[in-house]
Structure 1
Amino acid sequence: MISVNRKKLYAAVMSTVLAASFSTAAFAEEEADLSEFSLDTMVVTANRVLTKITDAKADISVVDRKAIEEMHMTNVEEALRVVPGVQFLNNGGSGALNANLNGIRINGSKEIVVLVDGVRVTDFQGDSSGYIYASLMNNMDNIERVEVLRGSAGTVYGSGAKGGVINIITRKINEAKTTVDVSGGTFGKQHYKLNTMGRQDKVGYNVYYDKTKSGDVKDGEGKKWPSSLDSQALGLKVTYDFTNDHTLTMSYDRNKADYSGFDLVEGKTYEGNNKSDNFTLKDDIKFSDKWSNSFSYRHSNTKGNYAQSNKWIENAQSDYTYNFINEQARYTMSRHDFVFGIDYSEGKNNISKKLSSTSTEKGNFKLKNTSYYIQDDWEIIPKVTLSGGLRYDKPTNSSGNGVQLDTHTSKSYKISWDVTDNDTIYAGKSDFYILPSMNQLLDKNYGNKGLKAAEGHTNSIGYNKTFDDNNILTLNWFETISDVAIGLPASGRYNNYTDGIARGWNMQYMTQIGENWNANIGWAHLFQHCSGDNLDMGYYPKDMATFSIFYNYAKVKAGLDGYYFMRKINNEYAGKNGWPADNYAVVNLSASYAPTKDLNIYFKVDNLFDKLYAEHTDNIHGGKGWYSMPGRSFVLGMQFTF
């Protein structure tokens, strides 16, 4: 989607492959039983402390287990598409083309942080942190909910948290249960899932296996895009409860995808693969009602290759290793709630190669960053809370390649007032700080060793309203200003820019209608611009409405979700007819019937009105053609539980 060299894009984003299972322990000392549906969902992402969404005093949305099950969501992308302020930029519609490479933007920014149970997944990706491979995020059985925090959160979550934070919370192991799910449908789609969990005294376990295959894809016009995708994920999670207040969790996940096909725009065959291995260790302990501590360690390795016309492209090969360590403590008093800790991140490029055609430098370089942070929520007077935070980042480069990154202190503050028991207003300012990626610094074609880290801040004002137990409204206005940004011009190397800005507002309304209906309606308004980023050429919506409606009665469940896209028209490009439609709706339908408690038969229709084709083009910036999105598709499946 974004106007960059396609070969470059493959290399830049390969390092951001995410694990499909996301299986680490979820703030064990804080987690509650969330199996009973409630509009006022409990969340942890706003300030690392478990609280109700209406008490979080932040712009946050949740896709819960109920929505995941009733829409039979097969990957995290399907969950995030109905969240206000979140936009996916699909780079091609084939299930294999670019391995279904998708760019996530929150509030117009592709600099985001992805967490699993509060543990950072990757680092040192710069403006590519929002790129993910949907084919490697297919296992939803192990996910309890997905939380999305919109806006800068640099003091709490560190480098990269400009647009926001996505936190995938995995399910607790509190029962013995095995689920087998088999489905198939349009475009040769085959999906096989196995998820089993159990507990024996103090030991809990969860094992999963997920395999997805698909073939040729037809777009909205019926044009066939030859392609093949074969992805699989497997993993194991084991928990040990020393006491009710002390839990150790270990998990391992492996994800792999192979893809191939024919690119109708480039007129070339292609093939590629990507895989990731991830190990996570987490120790959560609650010493008393006031003191608790969490230690996390995550080791990840991601690899990828890409070839065109049977020729492997050197610049599209990647092999990255990441290590993350977090030590966090929480101390509560009558009017203070402190969270403080240390983050250590390490990223290493394992490929040794020349960094330019004339350079004698080699790759195989490493970047490190150590961060210290503290946050305090202080109830100044009853119903008025002042929140403040500081984070100190100290990046280092031990590779002797001339890269120098300065230390940085990020600040945040927010004041909130519970006007009534049902009305809360808040206002605040939060800094962001984004280290350049290893690729942006040292890529042989586009790298710039002189890049400065991106930095700036977000101002926000919000309002939460609880009308009653069945009706909740949240509203947030934001303005994100980049004092320093990183961008890639149409030609040349990565550069720093100083004109980045995004502003807009997000609204969501959650309602329960009787015993059988519930709905979530959202609206996002956005203006965005930054040199080196062509999103404002017409790729983003000026306004986008999101919706999800669910019906549940006896053995029948049904859901309808989607969004209505209203394009931001840039007058400079308005006459180029880059898109077939500027306003369109994408709607998905799911229905299921459970003849017994152990058997569930379901049917899905994605892209119900066949309008997804309007979502992508490269004509707007002089491309050869366009990558149309998949047409309407169907899936029929059966799920067994025992």
Structure 2
Amino acid sequence: MGFKLSSLAVLCAAALSNMAHAEPQQVDETIVVIGRQAETPLDIAANVTVIDAAQIEQTGVTSLAELLRGRSGIQISDSNTGPTLAMRGFSGSQAANNTLILLDGRRLNNTDIAAANLSAIPLQQIERVEILSGSAGVLYGDQAVGGVINIITKAPQAVGGNLTLGTGSFNRAEGQGDIGGNLSDNWRYYLSGAYNRSDNYRDHNANHTGSVLGRLQYQTDMREFFVEGSYYDNKRQNPGALSEDDLRSNPRKASAFQADDYLHEMTDAWRLHLKQVLGSHWQMVADINYSDTLVSSISYGSHGQNSRSLLEFNPKFVGNYVTDKGDLKWVLGGDVHRGEADFDLSGTDRSNTQTMTSIYAQAIVPLTRTLEYVAGGRYAKVKDELRDAAVYPGGTVLDENAHALALGLNYRPTDAQRWYLRAEQNFRFAKVDEQAYTSPGVFGLKPQTGDSVEAGWDWHPAKQQLGVHLYRLALQDEIVYDTSATKPVGGMFNGANVNADESRRYGADLSWYWQPLSQWQLGSEYHYVDAEFTEGANEGKALSWVAKHSGRLFSSVDVTDNWQLYAEAQYLGSRYMEGDNANEGERIDSYWLGNLAVNYHRNAWLASVRIDNLFDKTYVSSGYYSSWGNGYYVGDGRNVSASISYRF
């Protein structure tokens, strides 16, 4: 990216100049976490999609992963123990480290390479999902490389509750409930719980999953405070990978080498939140988050256990001023993260305490009533206090730092139309379990850094929405696992975490939504990404597991006042197996999935039936390349689910 800190200083000085001629205005109390301030999607110089509660209900989906599949270019990889979400051209193994997942602004990404567990969030708790496609290194820092997905849960603003019961294929049974109410004029409460069990599609893949959440909230015109606690417990059998012969003969079978394998994850999380109005222009928002996870497992017959915890402090100040050209908006903040992890696995005895601190600032400055620019920057430092029995038996300390700058323009000639241009840097630091597993002579991985440039046009007339978004993402020192790297000290076979050769991704996102009649909606999305290495031995080769083409079509019809029909087709193009960065093997076939849902509404009742993979397509949901023989995981076959809920 061509601009420097001096350029950023000039732009911020211009923002301060605008502030000097500003008039007071009360800060909007509603904080939209995407953008870290109150905005609408067209007011942000970025590609932002919002899925609201009505759309969630319309689809009839039973899981967050199925809700997000194919939307906003999201590609899902699932090794039959839980999905990972990739945005902007990342492989399944790298998706969890380059797509930031938030729950009400709290990071769900783990301190290690394990993906955020989406099954911990029952759909019944979700108010909306915000998806920012593209880098957001200034506002969110580490791991906000391909995009940010923020899941907004229901807040205790109303009195009442909901009860949902569900059943379906593979002996699935589910129950969810929530209730909220007022304790006084200023105090409110919210409680929810969920339980799910299923044998799932493959043999030896049953799960038992439960979660509870409680929130106590205090709110006045000047202050909001709440304390929230949750607990999540998931035990799932791991059926292992299939050979190519097994995939063709019986995709539901379990691996004979992993007959007893399972994962059991238990997480408790706590959150303190304070929002305080500081006069007519500013408000302060601060969160303290803590989570603690214990994972017990059997892998290839060997018992293992790892624990991780994360403590975060995230204060920020949000300012809003009215000028004669429009609103001038500021976000000033800092993030402090301290993560601890201990690994006691077969062949691994390692612990790491990772401390990350950063500060950031961003200003949205009006140039005219229709044109504004955004400028911002972040600086971050990380320290790993690492001990590994094989590599660092006496312990070591690794220090790194990174920064990100952003500059964008947002032009809104009319209320229904906008154009934007945006350049932003991004970075990610190595996870706690990546640093020690490196080739001999490599002492710590450098931060992964990148530059993102994108442009877009959106048009939202009364009954249509059109969007065209183009981007280029270039990465340096990308942190990946390379199967050809020299094995680490104590390693059993070749392969290690490395800083890879440079890579770049070109892409385009096209979308069109239309409501020709009040009872009929239809739409389409198409996503293209060309991801390849630009240096090194694999120069010109496609990045593995990234499909060039993906998309979806949907139609929703209100057949009567009570009956609604929803139909959807999802497409994912061919791609190389995960890890086949030299493109030596055959591509995995592309596939279409068809989904159908029927909903019935009457008063406070809602009944839904959904069929996923209507035509029972066999497809590969995750796969890993090896010269010894590839390992395949399959997606679910035809899956019928039914639910009934009552809102009181």
Paired residues, what number?
A: 575
Measured in 2, the distance between the counterparts of 1:216 and 1:380 equals 55
Q: Structure 1 residue 135 and structure 2 residue 119: aligned?
A: yes
| Alpha-carbon contact 2:544-2:576 (below 8 Å) kept | yes
The alpha-carbon deviation at position 172 of structure 1 amounts to 2.7
Specify the SS of the correspondent of 2:86. Answer: strand
Alignment of 1:88-103 (within 5 A): 88-92=76-80, 100-103=81-84
The alpha-carbon deviation at position 607 of structure 1 amounts to 0.9
Structure 2 alignment gaps of length 5 or more:
1-25, 241-253, 388-394, 484-493
Q: Which amino acid aligns with 2:201?
A: V
Measured in 2, the distance between the counterparts of 1:328 and 1:296 equals 9
Q: Which amino acid aligns with 2:289?
A: R
Q: Structure 1 residue 524 and structure 2 residue 518: aligned?
A: no
Q: Structure 1 residue 162 and structure 2 residue 145: aligned?
A: yes
The alpha-carbon deviation at position 576 of structure 1 amounts to 5.1
Structure 1 partner of 2:208? 230
Could you tell me which of 592, 595, 605 is aligned with 1:599? 605
Residue deviations 1:125-156, cap 9 Å, x none? 4xx47x2334333x112211111111111111
Measured in 2, the distance between the counterparts of 1:107 and 1:327 equals 29
Measured in 1, the distance between the counterparts of 2:583 and 2:400 equals 42
Structure 2 partner of 1:487? 480
Residue deviations 1:286-315, cap 9 Å, x none? 234421110111001122122146431x4x
Specify the SS of the correspondent of 2:545. Answer: coil
The alpha-carbon deviation at position 572 of structure 1 amounts to 9.4
- Say what the alpha-carbon RMSD is for the aligned residues: 3.0
Q: Which amino acid aligns with 1:238?
A: L
The alpha-carbon deviation at position 617 of structure 1 amounts to 4.2
Measured in 1, the distance between the counterparts of 2:347 and 2:256 equals 27
Specify the SS of the correspondent of 1:407. Answer: strand
The alpha-carbon deviation at position 352 of structure 1 amounts to 6.8
Q: Which amino acid aligns with 2:363?
A: D
The alpha-carbon deviation at position 550 of structure 1 amounts to 2.4
Structure 1 partner of 2:294? 303
Residue deviations 1:410-467, cap 9 Å, x none? 111112222444332221210111111000013499996421111111011111222x
Q: Structure 1 residue 176 and structure 2 residue 179: aligned?
A: no
Structure 1 partner of 2:233? 256
Q: Structure 1 residue 246 and structure 2 residue 229: aligned?
A: no
Measured in 1, the distance between the counterparts of 2:412 and 2:273 equals 35
Residue deviations 1:555-601, cap 9 Å, x none? 1123223411222479998895553x32x21122111223x413222
Measured in 2, the distance between the counterparts of 1:486 and 1:608 equals 38
Could you tell me which of 404, 417, 433 is aligned with 1:423? 417
| Alpha-carbon contact 1:487-1:532 (below 8 Å) kept | no
Structure 1 partner of 2:4? none
Structure 2 partner of 1:433? 427
Measured in 2, the distance between the counterparts of 1:545 and 1:349 equals 38
Point out which structure has higher relative CO (alpha carbons under 8 A, 6+ apart): 1
Structure 1 alignment gaps of length 5 or more:
1-27, 33-42, 93-99, 219-224, 357-361
| Alpha-carbon contact 2:27-2:320 (below 8 Å) kept | no
Structure 2 partner of 1:268? 258
The alpha-carbon deviation at position 640 of structure 1 amounts to 2.1
Structure 2 partner of 1:212? 196
Structure 1 partner of 2:318? 330
Could you tell me which of 460, 466, 471 is aligned with 1:473? 466
Structure 1 partner of 2:647? 641
The alpha-carbon deviation at position 123 of structure 1 amounts to 5.5
Structure 2 partner of 1:375? 362
Structure 2 partner of 1:66? 54
Specify the SS of the correspondent of 2:399. Answer: coil
Could you tell me which of 271, 281, 287 is aligned with 2:272? 281
Structure 1 partner of 2:563? 556
Measured in 1, the distance between the counterparts of 2:264 and 2:443 equals 29
Measured in 1, the distance between the counterparts of 2:584 and 2:385 equals 50
Residue deviations 1:253-277, cap 9 Å, x none? 1111112265434533122211211
Structure 2 partner of 1:540? 546
Alignment of 1:80-91 (within 5 A): 80-91=68-79
Structure 1 partner of 2:10? none
Larger CA deviation: 536-545 vs 434-443: 536-545
Measured in 1, the distance between the counterparts of 2:576 and 2:142 equals 32
Measured in 2, the distance between the counterparts of 1:142 and 1:226 equals 29
Structure 1 partner of 2:179? 196
Question: Quick one: structure 1 residues 614 and 228, their matched pair in 2 at CA, closer, same or farther if it must change by over 3 Å?
Answer: closer
Could you tell me which of 573, 577, 601 is aligned with 1:566? 573
TM-score normalised to structure 2 length: 0.82
Q: Which amino acid aligns with 1:558?
A: L
Larger Rg: 2
Q: Structure 1 residue 409 and structure 2 residue 409: aligned?
A: no
Structure 1 partner of 2:101? 114
Specify the SS of the correspondent of 1:301. Answer: strand
| Alpha-carbon contact 2:172-2:198 (below 8 Å) kept | yes
